[in-house]
Amino acid sequence: MESRTLLTTLHWGTYEVSAENGRLVGVEPWSGDPDPSPIGKSMLGTTQGNMRVARPAIRRGWLEGDRSSPIGRRGGEPFVEVPWETALDILAAELGRVRTAHGNAAIYAGSYGWASAGRFHHAQSQLHRFLNTIGGYTSSVLSYSYGAAEIILPHVLGSTDGLTGNHSTWDGIEQHSQLIVAFGGLPWRNAQIQGGGSARHEASAALRNAAANGARLINISPVRDDAPRGVEAEWLPLRPNSDTAVMLALCHVLIREDLHDGAFLARYCTGFESVRAYIVGESDGQPKDPAWAASLSGVAKDKIIALAREMAARRTILMVSWSLQRADHGEQPYWAAITLAALLGQIGLAGGGIGFGYSSTNGAGRPELGFRWPSVPQGRNPVPDFIPAARVADMLLDPGGSFEFNGASLSYPDVRLVYWAGGNPFHHHQDLNRLVEAWQRPETIIVHEPFWTATARHADIVLPVTTPLERNDLAFSNRENLIVAMKQAIDPVGEARDDYGIFAGLAKRLGVHEAFTEGRDADEWIRLLYAQACENADAVGIDMPPFERFWRDGHAELTRKVTSQTLLGPFRSDPERHRLATPSGRIELYSSTIDGFGYDDCPGHAVWKEPREWLGNSELAGRFPLHLLSPQPADKLHSQLDHGSVSRAGKVAGRAPLWINQADAAARGIRDGDIVFVSNDRGSCLAGAVLTDGLIQGVVQLPTGAWFDPSEPAPSLEKHGNPNVLTPDRGTSRLAQSPTCNSTLVQVSRFDGAAPPVTAFEPPVILNLPGMAGRRGLS
């Protein structure tokens, strides 16, 4: 019996995986991880389970139809399995047809989403590289994670430092912070994850150290459990989406009591006068004072006053979670938080200032390595068309329609073919019933997937891909100094191929094999990336072992170049030499650029804009009196491994858990463990009730990740608890056009009667019809 144990790295951690005779038999956390995540356990039982896509599969209606007018509806239809060669022939012909008839802009391959860790087998990079060799594709910009921030921060701070990287590091916070004010909290749950791979989970220990050194922590959130694990924190509950009002009122107190740092504002900022006039009420007659904020947020007026004074008196860092900007006008809490931090005048001081997404992942606050990891070169995309990622349904429903975005007027291309490799839009997108309709519009949808997810089920051509355990790769990730040889541990499942191999096969058929592969197989690419990494490391004086030694040992520890840094520290010490990349070179509390766009939904400085959907909207809240938050799931990464043991153990009555305040539950006759019906004008789903006093009244929490499981026909009751049948599909504002899932109102009631069974974890009907594949595309 052949058995082997290997170290490998996934987004949720580094594990020792054991295999016997090509099968996965064990997953244990790496001994070097001080705070490992249990999520990896879910790989057992799923990696080689019945939800794997075993062979290339084509939707029957698509196969039977004429190329430009497919028959039937996507989703819920049987698939026909075909041999790889047939599938690739059909797909190559279809790509050729669409390019010839409509041009490359008719191919949408934004393919937003996470896929798996591993530097080479990064699905989107492979897809983009492949399509660039045949003339390009309509692309997407921005993320669902922090799209609004990606647009507003460069206008205000000149870059996205402090959002995705270059945060003030934990050491300075541990040693110097006296007050940590966390808007959206610092949940341990989210710090399990690091894109590209986690090795050592350190966020909890850093927060514990800060507290042990005397820092006081305040969790400002509708949810008590957003406090970090094992650290005492004061809970300051507030109404969802009201943070901007509270931040402006804190500014109001600082200004009224002359506690703001005038010297900092004069030297490092521009536009204080405009925002001051707004805050004190000179420009619109409404002072943004604590009484005003209290009525919007539910945070007591005296609390706001006391907090402002404490912030001014102590070394204070504002930590703002990414969730705040996934809401209507999500640009505003970020701009308001920077305004507040600027008034406090501690930006650029160790332990003070601001940072975004501490504990949103394991990465923030950990030092950068000091050089850039190479990635698969994607070539050049000659197609200029793009959309902000979250506008995908708008694009499919409204070809030629116009929209505004960050100062530009753009229009949606006429997309005929959608190509997704890595990412699960039926997980990540909002208003899924609307997506189901939009998804019927293209002529062809192609998906590469390891598993029969909802996105695979809603495709025409599904190609089975390997998971990281079935291929060789490299784990290089931004804030880890452990690099891991992700060696193949088990045989590919079914007929799965890696994305690279699939694109190489298509490239051959389309006459671009050499351009796509450059004559290398996957292992040769891995060596090339490693060699490039060695060069980049060497340029800053960091040693990497030679490839052979690295591969033999299975991992290596690098010495970090940077060990400690403070966000905007250099700017603070010399604002002339380290000018920000904003028009003024300073922090823009007022932006003439944004003001010049003339957007009433995002004017020239931070403002309170009432969300379209929140508890303060009395008309809507009259019908849907509960604010639904849909946070990241504790027991998985998005939809990944929802069918695994760790995620399934957290289900209630087989559905996603919905946390509800005891009083709200009692008023509805809902008991712990009941199946509940969650609904609004956009859709409805079932979930399993969990009663708690850790949520304010009027708020419910339903984490993302339950595999979309509509009863037929859609739009209809979703059976499994996917919150995105309820969330709105509208942009934050014309500035960033980013997701607003956290601005959702619902009603919840007890579901009596026979609940339909969850069927998300049963594969679709697969037909084996000899001769079917010959009907299309082969001539």
Ligand X SMILES: Nc1nc2c(c(=O)[nH]1)N[C@H]1C(S)=C(S)[C@@H](COP(=O)(O)OP(=O)(O)OC[C@H]3O[C@@H](n4cnc5c(=O)[nH]c(N)nc54)[C@H](O)[C@@H]3O)O[C@H]1N2
Largest CA distance in the chain: 81
- What is the helix (H) or strand (E) element at residue 475, kind and residue range? strand 473-475
Among candidate residues 12, 108, 114, 614, the one labeled active-site is 114
Binding residue (CB under 6 A) for ligand X from 99, 121, 129, 458: 121
- Lookup: tokens for 565: 């840094």
Q: Tell me if 180 sits within 8 A of 234, measured CB to CB.
A: no
CA torsion, ordered 691, 695, 699, 704, to nearest 10 deg: -80
Binding residue (CB under 6 A) for ligand X from 321, 339, 732, 733: 321
Residue 680 makes contact with ligand X by CB under 6 A: no
Binding residue (CB under 6 A) for ligand X from 315, 329, 416, 428: 428
User: What residue type is 27 in one-letter code?
Assistant: V
Q: Tell me if 295 sits within 8 A of 331, measured CB to CB.
A: no
Nearer to ligand X, 265 or 615 (CB): 615
Among positions 347-386, residues that touch ligand X (CB under 6 A) are 360-361
Q: With contacts defined by CB under 6 A, name the span among 13-21, 208-216, 553-561, 719-727 that binds ligand X.
A: 719-727
SS3 746: strand
Q: Give the residue nearest to Mo ion (CB).
A: 145
* Measured distance CA(409)–CA(387) in Å, rounded: 11
* Measured distance CA(368)–CA(583) in Å, rounded: 27
Among positions 186-215, residues that touch ligand X (CB under 6 A) are 187, 189-190, 192-193
Nearer to Mo ion, 113 or 271 (CB): 113
Residue 534 makes contact with ligand X by CB under 6 A: no
Shortest CB 143 distance to ligand X, Å: 6
Among positions 227-246, residues that touch ligand X (CB under 6 A) are 240-241, 243
Shortest CB 11 distance to Mo ion, Å: 11
Binding residue (CB under 6 A) for ligand X from 125, 133, 639, 737: 639
Among positions 87-116, residues that touch ligand X (CB under 6 A) are 113-116
CA end-to-end distance (rounded Å), the chain: 47
User: What residue type is 200 in one-letter code?
Assistant: R
Residue 704 makes contact with Mo ion by CB under 5 A: no
Strand partners of residue 690: 659
Residue 661 makes contact with ligand X by CB under 6 A: no
Shortest CB 53 distance to ligand X, Å: 10
Residue 324 makes contact with ligand X by CB under 6 A: yes
Residue 737 makes contact with ligand X by CB under 6 A: no
Residue 145 makes contact with Mo ion by CB under 5 A: yes
Contacts 24+ apart (CB under 8 A), 560-563: 560/367, 560/368, 560/369, 560/370, 560/481, 561/368, 561/369, 561/370, 561/371, 562/367, 562/368, 562/369, 562/370, 563/169, 563/171, 563/367
Shortest CB 420 distance to ligand X, Å: 8
Binding residue (CB under 6 A) for ligand X from 637, 656, 686, 758: 637
Shortest CB 726 distance to ligand X, Å: 8
Integer angstrom CA distances of residue 315 from 178, 215, 256, 348, 763:
5, 9, 20, 12, 55
User: Which parts of 154-277 are beta strand (E)?
Assistant: 179-183, 216-220, 234-236, 269-270
Shortest CB 701 distance to ligand X, Å: 6
Helix, strand, coil percent values for the chain (each to nearest 5)? 30, 20, 50
Q: Is residue 114 annotated as a catalytic residue, yes or no?
A: yes
Q: Which does 448 bind (CB under 5 to 8 A by kind): Mo ion, ligand X, none?
A: ligand X
Binding residue (CB under 6 A) for ligand X from 174, 289, 431, 449: 449
* Measured distance CA(67)–CA(776) in Å, rounded: 8
* Measured distance CA(215)–CA(351) in Å, rounded: 10
Q: Tell me if 527 sits within 8 A of 550, measured CB to CB.
A: no
Q: With contacts defined by CB under 6 A, name the span among 345-353, 449-457, 751-759, 761-769 that binds ligand X.
A: 449-457
Rg (CA), the chain: 26
Among candidate residues 112, 412, 452, 590, the one labeled active-site is 112
Q: With contacts defined by CB under 5 A, name the span among 86-94, 140-148, 195-203, 589-597 that binds Mo ion.
A: 140-148
User: Which parts of 135-252 are beta strand (E)?
Assistant: 139-141, 179-183, 216-220, 234-236
Q: Is residue 420 annotated as a catalytic residue, yes or no?
A: no
Give the x-and-dash track for 460-479 against ligand X (CB under 6 A).
Answer: -----x--------------
DSSP category for residue 437: H
Binding residues for Mo ion, rule CB under 5 A, total 1
Q: Which residues bind Mo ion (CB under 5 A)?
A: 145
Positions touching ligand X (CB under 6 A) are: 113-116, 121, 123, 144-145, 183-185, 187, 189-190, 192-193, 220-223, 226, 240-241, 243, 321-324, 326-327, 360-361, 421-424, 427-428, 448-451, 453, 465, 499, 629-634, 637-640, 704, 723-724, 727, 741-742
Active site residues: 112, 114
